[in-house]
Chain A
Amino acid sequence: MSQIGEGILEAIRMIVTLNPDLIKIVGLSLWVSLSAIVIATILGVLLGTWLGLKSEKKTRFINKLIFTLMGMPPVVAGLIIYLILSRQGPLGVLGLLYTPGAMIIAQVFLALPIITGLTMVGIRARGKVIEETARSLGADSRLAAWTVVKESRMAILGAVITGFGRVVAEVGAVMMVGGNIDGRTRVMTTAIVLETRKGNFELAIGLGMILLSLSFFVNSVLYTIQKGGDAHEG
């Protein structure tokens, strides 16, 4: 018990004094996860909107595939990306394995199905009505699609936040393709695993507290924005 208490106190001290090791790990984690989420959002919103506006009958197989990938274990994602980026793999020549680039790719692979799937579900609920309303007012295809995205922003935001929650907290994929190299590919989750194994609980607890705080901050932002409500059907 005292070990946990001491660990928390030490962790607070490290956070308050901006411990360089801690800052480096948090900075890399945020860089990797935010980059991955930006890429996954651009691709996922486009794909999810397109699928959401298509009839469910026509996209049944793709829907099943996306829903399956939404629950894909991170280690499986890590294994697939590892095999693709390994020296004998199809993209081995790029030399990305054990770099932050490989970690970003793995996280995009994990977040993309979530953002695509949740965007598709959100848009399928009301997208057609929004699209037809826009078209009936003279919108071309591009403006109609943009209006659907704009009006479904709450659902899309929820999808992005869920995707971010998934990638920032996952450990298996980034461990496999990043290698947990100190100063290069060590992120919060892989560092927590390592420090716990070493018995170095202060840093592990500090990183855990930062992860939780980040999750709380992100969810608070979502809650505040969602209070703005959704489009109105009179």
Chain B
Amino acid sequence: MPMKDKSPLLEMTGVSKVFQREILNIESLALQEGLIYGVIGPSGAGKSTLLRIINLLTPPTQGTYHFMGEVVQRESDRERLKFQREMALVFQKTLLFRESVWHNIAFGLKARKIPRRDVEKRVDELLAYLGMEDLAHRRGDTLSGGEAQRVAIARAVAFEPKLLLLDEPTANLDPRNVALIEDMIQGMSRDKGITVVMVTHNVFQARRVSDQVIFIDEGRIVEIGPVDRVFSPEAHRKTRAYVQGKMIY
């Protein structure tokens, strides 16, 4: 099990994003290694923007953050890559490259210039670990939505990132695929010690899968805490209203 009392894997203070209006304003956020964070909140609350800022795809208007104890630099391609290669983001709308599942999963390893023999070994091992060997030679465009999403997650964890960012990983999937993906996320966190930040609209999923829940509303973190507390009567009144479906937005 990963240590949970070390310095945070990611620390964010005073990070904001303004695009015509203020989309995000994070006063303080600390993510501990090895935990699964469920990010919930109304549509347009800034959840996806938070993931994009962490993954260095969107520059914040103000502020920066620490990752693995270092200030994240984004000025040069080399600096950006140094941090970006320690994390992975799976988008809500998955895009698989026009290649076999095997080659899709190998993409991140090849990008890191890992020797070919090691790439082959690691992809084969991962496919076996996830029970996806039968998909290895299928092309991306022949997969169902659930299979494609599982491949996208496998592709993101193949290089064992420190931080896995998931944006609505089970949106529009049937219950069986939802269960498969939730098992996959929990297994990755448990067995590989990967820290996961998962944006979801499904509060029940956040409760099932997460160790900690972050509730964001109007770009600000209203509450962050263990599942038991966030889903209890002691939670912030806005959080309670949201999880009970009473929030009007």
**Cα A140 to Cα B90 with chains together (Å):** 17
Interface size of A as a range: 20 to 34
Q: Chain A residue with minimal CB distance to B147?
A: A234
Minimum CB–CB distance for B237 against chain A, Å: 36
B29 at the interface (CB under 8 A from A): no
The residue among A138, A139, A150, A229 with the most chain B CB atoms within 10 A of its own CB is A138
Q: Once the chains bind, are A231 and B98 in contact (CB under 8 Å)?
A: yes
Q: Once the chains bind, are A135 and B84 in contact (CB under 8 Å)?
A: yes
Q: Chain A residue with minimal CB distance to B139?
A: A232
Lowest 5 CB-CB distances: which A-B pairs, in order? A234-B148, A232-B141, A136-B89, A137-B108, A138-B85
Q: Once the chains bind, are A141 and B77 in contact (CB under 8 Å)?
A: yes
Interface size of B as a range: 20 to 34
- Taking Cβ atoms with an 8 Å cutoff, the residues of A that contact B are 126, 129-130, 132-141, 143, 147, 150-151, 228-234
**Cα A230 to Cα B97 with chains together (Å):** 9
Q: Once the chains bind, are A233 and B77 in contact (CB under 8 Å)?
A: no
Of the candidates A132, A139, A230, the one whose C-beta lies within 8 Å of that of B111 is A139
B156 at the interface (CB under 8 A from A): yes
Residues of B near A140 (CB, < 8 A) are: 77, 81, 111
Q: Once the chains bind, are A138 and B159 in contact (CB under 8 Å)?
A: yes
**Cα A129 to Cα B91 with chains together (Å):** 9
Contacts known (A132-B57, A140-B77); A231 close to B140, Cβ less than 8 A: yes
Q: Once the chains bind, are B89 and A138 in contact (CB under 8 Å)?
A: no
Residues of B near A129 (CB, < 8 A) are: 91, 93, 95
Q: Once the chains bind, are A232 and B96 in contact (CB under 8 Å)?
A: yes
**Cα A150 to Cα B107 with chains together (Å):** 13
Q: Once the chains bind, are B95 and A231 in contact (CB under 8 Å)?
A: yes
Q: Which of B70-116 contact A (CB under 8 A)?
A: 77, 81, 84-85, 88-91, 93-98, 107-108, 111-112
A/B pair count, beta carbons within 8 Å: 83
B247 at the interface (CB under 8 A from A): no
Q: Once the chains bind, are B152 and A138 in contact (CB under 8 Å)?
A: no
B47 at the interface (CB under 8 A from A): no
B55 at the interface (CB under 8 A from A): yes
Q: Chain B residue with minimal CB distance to A230?
A: B98
**Cα A147 to Cα B98 with chains together (Å):** 10
Q: Once the chains bind, are B55 and A147 in contact (CB under 8 Å)?
A: no
Contacts known (A137-B156, A138-B84, A138-B111); A232 close to B95, Cβ less than 8 A: yes
Q: Once the chains bind, are A133 and B81 in contact (CB under 8 Å)?
A: no
Q: Once the chains bind, are A234 and B107 in contact (CB under 8 Å)?
A: no
Q: Once the chains bind, are B57 and A136 in contact (CB under 8 Å)?
A: yes
B162 at the interface (CB under 8 A from A): no
Contacts known (A135-B57, A137-B88, A138-B85); A151 close to B111, Cβ less than 8 A: no
Q: Chain B residue with minimal CB distance to A229?
A: B141
Of the candidates A134, A135, A139, A229, the one whose C-beta lies within 8 Å of that of B98 is A229
- A-B pairs with beta carbons under 8 Å apart, 5 shown: A133-B91, A136-B156, A138-B85, A150-B98, A234-B149
Q: Which of B13-46 contact A (CB under 8 A)?
A: none
Minimum CB–CB distance for B51 against chain A, Å: 10
The residue among B89, B98, B108 with the most chain A CB atoms within 10 A of its own CB is B98
Contacts A133-B97, A138-B108, A143-B111 supplied; 6 other A-B pairs, CB < 8 Å: A129-B93, A130-B95, A140-B81, A230-B141, A233-B95, A234-B143
Minimum CB–CB distance for B79 against chain A, Å: 12
**Cα A208 to Cα B66 with chains together (Å):** 68
Of the candidates B77, B97, B141, the one whose C-beta lies within 8 Å of that of A147 is B97
1/0 per position for B137-155, CB-CB distance to A under 8 A?
A: 0011101110111001001
Q: Once the chains bind, are A232 and B140 in contact (CB under 8 Å)?
A: yes
**Cα A229 to Cα B55 with chains together (Å):** 30
Residues of A near B139 (CB, < 8 A) are: 232
Contacts known (A137-B88, A140-B81); A233 close to B94, Cβ less than 8 A: yes
Minimum CB–CB distance for B111 against chain A, Å: 4
Q: Once the chains bind, are B77 and A138 in contact (CB under 8 Å)?
A: no
Residues of B near A138 (CB, < 8 A) are: 81, 84-85, 88, 108, 111-112, 159
Q: Chain A residue with minimal CB distance to B85?
A: A138
The residue among A132, A139, A151, A234 with the most chain B CB atoms within 10 A of its own CB is A234
Residues of B near A233 (CB, < 8 A) are: 93-95
Contacts known (A136-B55, A138-B81, A138-B159); A234 close to B96, Cβ less than 8 A: yes
**Cα A232 to Cα B85 with chains together (Å):** 24
Residues of A near B159 (CB, < 8 A) are: 137-138
